[in-house]
Amino acid sequence: MVRRTVALVHTTPGRTRLRLRWLRRSPEQAAALADHLSALPGMEEVVVRTFTGSVLCTHDPAQLLPERLLEEARRFSGEGVVVLGPGEAEPPDEEELLRAAAHGSNVARAFARFFKAVNLDVVRTFEGRVDLGTLASLFLLGAGTAEVVATRRLPMPPWFNLGWWAFRTFIVADKAAIDSVHVLAGQPPEPTGAEAGASPEPHGPHH
């Protein structure tokens, strides 16, 4: 379920902009909202852009105040609406959180597109014999070997390297367990073991 919000974005005498982000997923209600607001005394024009959820109202400031517009938009949106003033950050939609969890965040997808493009260039350059992952591994292996040869000692890796390797080993070795766990956004992890009140299985008699 999409969390509905009504935000007062900006207001000047006779001109008020609201944002109803939920309209992006319910564009069929845009005309009904415009009709609802247009019926208010002092309203001159209502422009609704469903792509952004923007609602621009031109009105007579002597007859219609921004607070009334905000209240009418809240009433139209239904129960459980979050009303936000100018500058207040809008909470993320549950669907957006779940989409990011399933397909990665916008930043992660941007990085993925960048490195896939670089990898494609590397594969083309080496005619399919080497890809970016192999090239990076060979480079790091060669740099590490050169350091050991130059210093004639095997240094202990920094703690953050060890931490990263531990995390990387976990997500590679336990991929099946990670893929089988499903957590809904906004809910705590499910308790396991003693936290769930599970009692250990009884042991049979020892022989």
CATH at residue 38:
3.30.70.100
Q: State the Cα–Cα distance between residues 189 and 184, nearest whole angstrom.
A: 9
Write down the pLDDT at residue 31: 92
| Half-sphere CA count of 95, side-chain side, radius 13 A | 8
Is residue 10 domain-shared with residue 90, that is, in the same domain?
yes
Band of pLDDT at residue 141, cut at 50, 70 and 90: confident
The one-letter amino acid at 7: A
Q: State the Cα–Cα distance between residues 66 and 40, nearest whole angstrom.
A: 12
Write down the pLDDT at residue 148: 86
| 166 falls within a domain | no
Write down the pLDDT at residue 1: 45
Is residue 132 domain-shared with residue 67, that is, in the same domain?
no
Task: Find the domain containing 146 and state its range.
Answer: 104-155
Look at the alpha carbons of 59, 61, 63, 67 in this order and tell me if their dihedral is positive or negative: positive
| 160 falls within a domain | no
Q: State the Cα–Cα distance between residues 56 and 33, nearest whole angstrom.
A: 12
Q: What is the pTM of this model?
A: 0.45
Q: How many domains does the chain have?
A: 2
Is residue 17 domain-shared with residue 90, that is, in the same domain?
yes
Is residue 90 domain-shared with residue 124, that is, in the same domain?
no
Is residue 115 domain-shared with residue 90, that is, in the same domain?
no
Write down the pLDDT at residue 207: 47
Joined tokens for residue 203: 């042991």
Pairing mode, if any, of strands 54-59 and 43-49?
A: antiparallel
Look at residues 121, 139, 155 and tell me which one is the last residue of a structural domain.
155
Is residue 75 domain-shared with residue 123, that is, in the same domain?
no
Q: State yes or no: pLDDT of 11 exceeds 80.
A: yes
What does the pLDDT average to over 81-106?
Answer: 65
Is residue 82 domain-shared with residue 30, that is, in the same domain?
yes
Does 131 or 105 have the greater pLDDT score? 131
Does 163 or 104 have the greater pLDDT score? 163
Is residue 16 domain-shared with residue 89, that is, in the same domain?
yes
Would you state the torsion angle of the CA atoms of residues 179, 180, 185, 190, taken in this order, to the nearest 10 degrees?
A: -140
Is residue 12 domain-shared with residue 89, that is, in the same domain?
yes
